[in-house]
Structure 1
Amino acid sequence: MNEADDRIRVGRVSGVYGVKGWVRVFSETAPRAAITEFPQLWMQHGSDWRLVEVEGGRGHGQGVVMKFHEAADRDGAHRLIGAELAIERAWLPPAEDGAYYWADLLGMAVENNDGAVLGTISGFIETGANDVLVVQGDRERLIPWVRDQYVLDVDLEARRVRVDWDPEF
């Protein structure tokens, strides 16, 4: 088992907040404050990962602030800036039928109805209306995540997404 493969990145420490060890966190969860619901997070600073205790957290404006056991004061919080935050895949509830965690789709091959490989999923864009797949291949393609219109089939076992998309677009 490769432990790094079983971790899903959920954010990073982006700054300090106050003088009591709180930090600003750029959260990649939806909603953003969901990152604060985990009692522990994996933290990577440099090449080392360690499990850290979450003492508190809350949404703050459009961002998130959190308190980790490792940071008792502003100096301790400052040392955490830049640290990546992750959870274990096993900590997530199973996705509902027809729903997927974005982390499970990253790296999947994308092909159209004619079997033309368009590339692999490198990311997602939240637009408010429909999420958008970012597909890297011979060039970058942005494909709306609209089931049964553009996204026809997701095969998690084969690691493939089939789309109704002209390779010229």
Structure 2
Amino acid sequence: MEPAGNPQIPADLVEVGHVGGAYGIRGWVRIKPYSAGAEALLAVKEWWLDSSGSREVKVLQARWQGADVVACLAGVSDRDAAEALRGAVVRISRRHFPAPDEGEYYWVDLIGLAVFNRQGDCLGTVKGLMDNGAHPVLQIETGMPEDKKRELLIPFVERHVGKIDIENRKMTVDWELDY
């Protein structure tokens, strides 16, 4: 596969999925998106693949296939070439993401936020999110000394999550450190 060029790697790349393998015999790839709302994958015509170094690839076509996105990439013309990309991380520039609606957030924007409870106690920092099937769950790393650090799991639902301030990098939750 030939890269779409050798442009400078954008600083705002966000990991949005990975190549799950080939789709069909004509070189299409199956992408396992990390979010159910992966519309940016369909809209953006340049992806960055990370397997043995980052390289930009041109997306000729992309569409939903069940819970996955299948795509035809320039320079990938057969099943073997597509299968060789299995496991490659797919990244796109953050500038291509559509603006979220009021009260909606991209998970990538929540990572790194300081988390405080309603009493003002710092519980830690958002290290990640996961989906348990019913709702997303915040993974909070407590700010305790290294030997006492632990992970808090807080449901990302209105009942527990209060104000989110992306600009000031903090959020308020209805949660106690000893839960």
Counterpart of 1:118, as a letter, is L
The 3-state SS of whatever aligns with 2:47 is: strand
Secondary structure at the residue paired with 1:43? strand
Aligned to 1:144: 155
Whole-angstrom CA distance in 2 between matches of 1:34 and 1:90: 10
Shift of 1:127: 4.0
- For 2:109, what is the secondary structure of its paired residue? helix
**CA offset at residue 91 of structure 1?**
0.8
Cα distance in 2, alignment partners of residues 16 and 120 from structure 1 = 37
Q: Post-superposition shift, 1:75?
A: 2.1
**Number of aligned positions between the proteins:** 166
One-letter identity of the residue aligned with 1:15? G
Extract unaligned runs of 5+ from structure 2: 1-8, 143-148
Contact 1:10–1:28 (CA<8 Å) still a contact in 2?
Answer: yes
Whichever residue aligns with residue 110 of structure 1, its letter is V
Q: Which residue of 2 aligns with 1:80?
A: 85
Corresponding residue for residue 163 of structure 1: 173
Match 1:105 to one of 104, 110, 128: 110
Which amino acid is the alignment partner of residue 172 of structure 2? R
Aligned counterpart, 1:63: 68
- Larger mean CA deviation between 5-14 and 58-67 belongs to 58-67
Distance between the aligned counterparts of 2:40 and 2:54, measured in 1? 21
Identity %: 38
CA distance in 1, matches of 2:73, 2:41: 13
**Partner residue of 2:6?**
none
SS of the counterpart of 1:104?
helix
SS at match of 1:76: helix
- 2:34 matched to 1:23? no
